[in-house]
Structure 1
């Protein structure tokens, strides 16, 4: 398995160590989820204003949020099945993370910036892989999976 992470920090506030952490967490998620072949994910770090604009435009919610994922392999019932070219990477989609939310939530939950950045990265990855938390059962499964991945990586509270 080869994982390509297209990382873009529009805020220019994260360090190269933060970028490396995000890339390693994406790879750990792919490994734990037993993904095969070449995988590509785009991660963009934005400010509060930009994530609110994205949230409003794509989710009709005029408020900032911590993370938004756009899965490229997600299908509705009326769409045709996607056939992946085995010679091309499986482009999972885009994850947008609010840098200010990482900081605020790290302080709120009394853990490190790195732990929160890792958590939001895993959360976004799991959404790209089809996990959701609309029901209590889905939330329990997704949040349990997040903790399993973060623990496997060694990024605990």
Structure 2
């Protein structure tokens, strides 16, 4: 999707891998020329978005959908566990939020990310959903991805 302009605000997407404007990380340019960091996620009819002065990531997922495709070897760092469906969905959301904030998406294996190394917050979500957000205080890494 090409960029859009709304009363001095321009938005779009950019894939750092292939340069496409049809997918990838969302971006926004405000009327004053500044470009805050932005992240968004959707699950069914629910959409969450966050804007920050630092790299940011947000994710929302269906607990049932995560449970149906759950593979702890693909998601969990060796030091982590998540047994109950709600724990699995929360862990998935935390990992996706971190990967979005890093700008790597799923090109970085979730199992290489240890949630304890990041300042991730679970956020309120409708029944049956899980959601999490992370803001990285400094450009680059907010924690170690391998511990």
Task: Point out which structure has higher relative CO (alpha carbons under 8 A, 6+ apart).
Answer: 1
Query: More helix per residue: 1 or 2?
Result: 1
Greater share of residues in strand = 2
TM-score (norm 2): 0.31
